[in-house]
Amino acid sequence: MPPSHPRDPRPEPPRSKRQRTALACDSCRVRKTKCDGARPSCGICVDLEFVCNYTQPVRRQQSIPSEADSPIESRLRAIEQSLRLLAANIGILPATKTRDRTTASFLGLTSPSSSTDTPFDSSSHLSGQQARVPHGADQILVNPQPDTSQNDTVDGMVVITFADDATAACFGPSSNSAFFSTINDAVDQMRNVPARHHGDTVCEQQDSTHFSRPVSPNPSPRRNPPLSLAVDDVNCFILPKKETIIELLDRFFTGFGMLFPYIYKKTFLDGIADMESTSFRGVRRPWLCLLNTIMAFATSGAVYPHRGQNQTDAEIYLQRALKVLQDISLQSANLEAVQALLLILQYLQGTQQSARTWTLQGLTVHAAFQIGLHSPAENAKYGPLEREIRKRCWHMCCIMDRTCSMTFGRPQSIRQDYQLVELPQDVDFETLGSESRQEQVPSRVNGVSVVAAFVQSIKLYALVGLILQTVYQNNIQTKEILPTSKVFQNIMAIEPQLAAWKTELPSHIRLQTRDTIVEATNPAVSDTPTDITMSLVLTLRFLHTRMLLHRRMLVCFLQNRRSTTDTDGERHFLMNFGKASVEMCLSAALDILDILKNNSPSSTRPPILTTWWFQIYYGKLCFVFPCCRTRADDL
């Protein structure tokens, strides 16, 4: 038995474990050798005299699910949006809603909710939020002035503004604001009241058209609680169910859409089908903006207000469209973007957002120029359907440019010599979109050609542009004032063109009179009172164009009354020739009032016109002319 060796009481030292290197140098990784990770050079590179470099690996960023991809986020935002609506509607009394409709009820109308006129006021809780905003000791936290650009004292069509409530803007000679100011100055002079000075600099001859003042104070906090949502508070990626969308599309294209046929309904039906096939992903933003605006029109009560649509839904649709518009307005434009801009521009004319209306009009014109809608050669590159849509959109841009220039009293953005695109064809979009070469069928609603009325509107607004250019000097005010004889000459040169336009109208859209309206809207005679909608709208536009043309002579009467350097020859000319022009202006105003009176809805007959502000705009100005005519007789 071998002798046992005594056990060494000293423990063996632990073996050194090689430390793991987090990052190997480039040379060791290429040669696949173990790198000790020493810096600035590892041991192997020092022994072999290599250049030692460490390259940091690129970390792959984890993809964060977007808001649209997260169903939880979408549901949470929908709940928050519903809570805001409930909180906004608390405390609204029925008497308040009745008072908001007073302006339109005198004509038997129902106006859209005032929610579009009162934006969400965040100034009430801004101070509390600022206290929680982190900032350094060397930084200054400012408290901005409340945004009043969406709460103007005039609306999108500049219906009226009073001398003490004018915003910081210029409304030129063709605007109603300047005309009312001229009347006020003349009446003040007759009453021996000191003249009102508009702006810091006073012009003796044309001070009535200067409206450069500070913005009016904010509305009193005792006013109604705001109903509208802030644009940033809405989720623009939410749509109602498919059945609701189809119903609203049908309502739009049988109402307001037939007056301006520059939108193809089938594109929306195809877009809805594409959304369903792609699980509602990859939706085009201009298409989404245009769809929300159409649904806002269809639910706002602006289209056939007797149907009693939900104003809250219309406000939500509009805010969604405006939020999408923020993304597409500063990007490269396309045809859908121009259509969305046009339709929102038309909608904002019925809201108290004149500044936004004018800004959006400029964006629309620039987008149209960007995609070449003004160029016949550029339009010829497209197929028949898209070429026709482009032509109609361009002419619609021209109509809105004339309208905004007339109502705001500002120069036109589209010059007369840019009108080189041919007029639209009187055909249906379905005919142009079909692959087979079938006979072109006119686009008709209840037997009335839709495009024919649109073409006549294009021709009429071309005359409006000519009136603004010659009679109102394109709303560019200078110190030189045209003599009354020159103004009368310009007026009489355009009057025959207006008469020729009236004569050339097709029989199915001829201008209406009080007797023909009563006959057409009598249930015992006609079961379809909306058949005269387009001819009635053309009648109002024609009468207002004539009133705009001859209104300039009435201004000459009022200015002659105020002038201190008048000669007997000037007054003699006004009484012999200018008085006839004033009589034509008065006749057009009275005809408009008769039409609006006969258009008032009853229990058995709905209103004929499509938009409530259409009647308000034409009606308010006409009430002034009988008084003005009396003043002119006193001269």
Give the pLDDT of residue 100.
39
Same domain, 409 and 485: no
pLDDT band, very low/low/confident/very high, at 470 (cuts 50, 70, 90): very high
HSE-CB of 314 using CA atoms within 13 angstroms: 25
Beta strand 448-449 with 444-445 is antiparallel
Question: Is residue 155 over pLDDT 60?
Answer: no
Instruction: Give the count of beta carbons closer than 10 Å to the beta carbon of residue 370.
Output: 13
Q: How many CB atoms are closer than 10 A to CB 30?
A: 9
Residue spans of alpha helices (H) in 563-634: 568-573, 579-598, 612-622, 625-633
In this structure, the answer to whether residues 254 and 397 fall within a common structural domain is yes
Please provide residue 168's backbone torsions phi and psi, each rounded to the nearest 5 degrees: -80, 75
pLDDT of residue 397: 96
Contact between 259 and 346 under an 8 Å Cβ cutoff? The reply is no
Q: Report how far apart, in Å, the C-alpha atoms of 3 and of each of 6, 10 are.
A: 9, 21
* Residue 195 falls inside a structural domain: yes
Instruction: Note whether residue 110 is domain-resident.
Output: no
CA pair distance 482, 480, nearest whole angstrom: 7
Nearest to 338, CA basis, from 326, 353, 328? 328
* For residue 400, pLDDT beyond 90: yes
What digits encode the pLDDT tens for the residues 5-55? 555 555 566 665 666 777 888 888 888 888 888 888 888 888 888 888 888
**Structure confidence by residue, pLDDT tens digits, 387-397:** 999 999 999 99
Q: Domain containing 500: what range?
A: 478-635
**Looking at residues 103-107, what average pLDDT do you find?**
31
The answer to whether residue 596 sits within a structural domain is yes
Q: What is the mean pLDDT of residues 325-332?
A: 84
In a domain, 495, yes or no: yes
Do 399 and 289 have their domain in common? yes
* Token pair of 287 as six digits: 């298409």
Last residue of a domain, one of 171, 196, 223: 223
Residue 68 lies in a domain: no
User: Is residue 345 located within the same domain as residue 437?
Assistant: yes
**Spatial distance between the Cα atoms of 327 and 325, rounded to a whole number of angstroms:** 5
- Place 289 in a pLDDT band, splitting at 50, 70 and 90: very high
- Do 166 and 265 lie in one domain? The reply is no
Name residues whose C-beta falls within 8 Å of residue 159's C-beta, 6 or more positions apart in sequence.
Answer: 176, 613, 616, 617, 620
pLDDT at position 263 = 93
Q: Final residue of a domain: which of 188, 223, 258?
A: 223
Identify the residue whose tokens are 């049988």: 254
- Give percent of the chain above pLDDT 70: 62
Q: Position of tokens 């104070």?
A: 217
Q: Where are the alpha helices (DSSP H) in 439-532?
A: 450-470, 484-503, 514-521
410 and 507 share one domain? no
pLDDT at 39: 85
Domain count, the chain: 4
Distance spanning both ends of the chain, measured CA to CA: 150
CA dihedral (366, 471, 462, 338) in degrees, to 10, reads 20
pLDDT tens digits for range 515-558 = 777 776 665 555 444 457 788 889 989 999 999 999 998 888 88
Q: Tell me: do 442 and 490 sit in the same domain.
A: no
The pLDDT score that the predictor gives to residue 120 is: 33
Together in a domain, 430 and 350: yes
Give the integer Cα–Cα distance in Å for 179 and 187.
Answer: 13
Percentage of residues in the chain with pLDDT exceeding 90?
22
pLDDT band at residue 154, thresholds of 50, 70 and 90?
Answer: low
Residue 206 within any structural domain of the chain: yes
Q: 32: domain CATH number?
A: 4.10.240.10
Residue 390: C-alpha distances to residues 18, 94, 363, 373, 396 (Å): 74, 46, 17, 6, 10
Among 402, 419, 421, CA closest to 464:
402
pTM for the whole thing?
A: 0.70
Domain shared by 451 and 482, yes or no: no
Q: Is 540 within a domain? A: yes
Nearest alpha carbon to residue 590 among 512, 538, 514, 537? 514
pLDDT of residue 493: 94
Which of the pair, 561 or 303, is modelled with greater confidence?
561
Cis? peptide before 424, omega within 30° of 0? no
* 591 or 533, greater pLDDT: 591
Nearest to 610 by CA among 369, 348, 305, 316: 305
pLDDT score at 392: 96
> pLDDT band at residue 192, thresholds of 50, 70 and 90?
confident
Q: Considering the domain boundaries, does residue 483 fall inside one?
A: yes
Read off the pLDDT of residues 348-366 as tens digits, 9 standing for 90 and up.
Answer: 887 777 788 899 999 999 9
Same domain, 527 and 580: yes
> Residue 96 and residue 90: Cα distance in Å, rounded?
12
End-of-domain residue from the set 223, 239, 259: 223
Task: Give the per-residue pLDDT at 377.
Answer: 95
Rounded distance, CA 586 to CA 582, Å? 6
- DSSP for 211-229, written as a single string: -B-PPPPPPPTTSPPP-PP
**8 Å CB contact between 521 and 597:** no
The predicted model gives 190-216 an average pLDDT of: 44
d(CA 611, CA 15): 92
CA triple 417-453-549, angle to 5 deg: 55
Between 4 and 429, the higher pLDDT residue:
429
494, 393: one domain: no
pLDDT of 221 reads: 41
Type and span of the H or E element at 449: strand 448-449
C-alpha distances in Å from residue 524, one per residue of 277, 508, 527, 607, 608: 49, 21, 7, 17, 17
Same domain, 241 and 167: no
